[in-house]
Amino acid sequence: MSSKVPSKLLELRSVGKSYGTAQVLKDVDLKIEDGEFLVILGPSGSGKTTILRLIGGFIAPSQGEILLDGAIINDLPINRRPFNTVFQDYALFPHMTVRGNVAYGLSVRGVPKAEIVARSDKVLALVSLGPLADRYPAQLSGGQRQRVALARAIVCEPRLVLLDEPLAALDVNLRRQMQVFLKEIQREIRTTFLFITHDQEEAITLADRICVMDHGKIMQIGAPRDLYDRPGSAHVARFFGDNNLIEGRILSVAGGRATLDTPLGTLVACCDPSSGLADGDSAFLAIRPEKIRILAREDPCPDDAAALGVTITRKEFAGPLTHLSFVPDAAPSILLSAKRLSDEMALLSLGEPGLRACWGISDTWVVRA
């Protein structure tokens, strides 16, 4: 049985954007598949919002091409692009009811009144706002206003919904609820979502694919699990989730594994055979904190695991997990971190002698320095 090949909806080819001598986007190549939830992740100033504004038609590229279904749309006006945008501040009309805000886009398109009512009511039910249809924005909570903005964006059945950090103003608990809600809505209506955020956890929760950006360039694109377990660069390893990076020099590379000379001794880690890493290259060995076990003297490490004598310097209880900072006995100037179940860490103490840190080869990854 053959699997369905995703169809390309939108493509950016060598797109750049400059303001005078300041280049904020550099030779970006990006393909957005029909029906996917793509998240662009990056810190402030990385260029992620610039991409959204270019796709939406709010600004024009300084170079390159933007294509929709294979046709160049660089000069296509905003009102002729089959996209809708949800902004961080929602931009609702305060003098209109919830129903009026949702129906507005249909009315300016000249849709018959009966169809406007039917489609608006259907979308309001989809976002669980039917009972609030006659309220005004000032009478709604932040999460409810966010859902009105989403309903207004999807009621016109766009090909692509652009979401510019729409959850940033919500508190933590409501933000998590809205993340789940957004993903469920996207799956139900099967519309392509392009979501902008600087929050790594939010990106992992929402995305089918994540595009990591920095300084106007795309650093890596892939499924959340791929980026998390197999970062393509030291920047992605640092930015995308917590990571311990141990600097070293490649001694040998073979069969998807690399041997490194590090301040902690000779260590072996997994690597991408196509990365081009070679003997003598500077590199980092990346280990996620949750992959490191801290063991007492009498507890055995697996046979293929690295095992280092360590001293715990900080222990922070965080509910089900405890965050540990520790220094290896072989290199006390290096500070590493681990995350383990709190019950597992309850008996370990700061400065306790005889502790060891263990991790497996399969839990490590090598990236070029």
- 210-255 pLDDT, tens digit each: 999 999 999 999 999 999 999 999 889 988 878 999 999 999 999 8
Residues 160, 51, single domain; the answer is: yes
pLDDT of residue 69: 94
Residue 347 has pLDDT above 90, yes or no: no
pLDDT band of residue 16 (cuts 50, 70, 90) is: very high
Which residues have C-beta within 8 Å of that of residue 37, sequence separation ≥ 6? 183, 186, 192, 193, 195, 206, 207, 208, 209
**Mean pLDDT over the full length of the chain:** 91
* The token pair that represents 127 in the structure block: 């976002």
The CB-based long-range contact list for 1-10 (8 Å cut-off, 24+ gap) reads 6/33, 6/34, 6/35, 6/36, 7/33, 7/34, 8/32, 8/33, 8/34, 8/70, 9/33, 9/34, 9/68, 9/69, 9/159, 9/160, 9/192, 10/55, 10/66, 10/67, 10/68, 10/160, 10/192
Among 193, 196, 137, 142, smallest CA distance to 169 is for: 142
Measured CA to CA, the distance from residue 366 to residue 270 in angstroms comes to 6
Residues 43, 122, single domain; the answer is: yes
Assess if residue 255 is contained within a domain: no
Assess if residue 195 is contained within a domain: yes
| Segment among 5-14, 88-97, 159-168, 348-357 with least mean pLDDT | 5-14
pLDDT band of residue 1 (cuts 50, 70, 90) is: very low
pLDDT of residue 6: 57
For 354-364, what is the mean pLDDT?
A: 91
User: Which of residues 194, 229, 264 is at a domain's end?
Assistant: 229
Say which residue the tokens 């700061």 belong to: 350
Assess if residue 278 is contained within a domain: no
Residue 286 has pLDDT above 90, yes or no: yes
For 123-131, what is the mean pLDDT?
A: 92
* Structural domains in the chain (count): 2
Report pTM: 0.89
Assess if residue 19 is contained within a domain: yes
pLDDT of residue 365: 95
Measured CA to CA, the distance from residue 326 to residue 341 in angstroms comes to 16
Q: What percent of the chain has pLDDT over 90?
A: 77
Domain that holds residue 115: 8-229
Residues 330, 182, single domain; the answer is: no
pLDDT band of residue 88 (cuts 50, 70, 90) is: confident
* The token pair that represents 300 in the structure block: 């055995």
CA dist 219 → 8, 46, 63, 77, 222 (Å): 21, 10, 20, 30, 10
Residues 221, 295, single domain; the answer is: no
Q: Classify 55 as helix, strand or coil.
A: helix
Residue 2 has pLDDT above 80, yes or no: no
pLDDT band of residue 22 (cuts 50, 70, 90) is: very high
Residue 89 has pLDDT above 90, yes or no: no
CATH of the domain at 133: 3.40.50.300
| Segment among 57-61, 304-308, 322-326, 360-364 with least mean pLDDT | 304-308
Residue 84 has pLDDT above 90, yes or no: yes
Edge-to-edge strand ranges of the sheet holding 217-222: 83-86, 160-164, 192-197, 37-41, 209-214, 217-222
Residues 340, 222, single domain; the answer is: no
SS (H, E, C) 285-300: EEECHHHCEEECCCCC
For 276-299, what is the mean pLDDT?
A: 90
Assess if residue 260 is contained within a domain: no
Q: CA-based angle 222:226:231, to the nearest 5?
A: 90
Residue 306, strand partner residues: 359
Residues 219, 331, single domain; the answer is: no
* The token pair that represents 147 in the structure block: 């859902």
pLDDT of residue 242: 86
Is residue 116 within 8 Å of 106, Cβ to Cβ? yes
Residues 76, 155, single domain; the answer is: yes
> Which is it for the CA torsion 122, 124, 125, 131, positive or negative?
negative
- 25-45 pLDDT, tens digit each: 999 999 999 999 999 999 999
pLDDT of residue 164: 93
Measured CA to CA, the distance from residue 97 to residue 325 in angstroms comes to 53
259-280 as b/e: b if 16+ CB within 10 A: bbebebeebbbbbeeebebeee
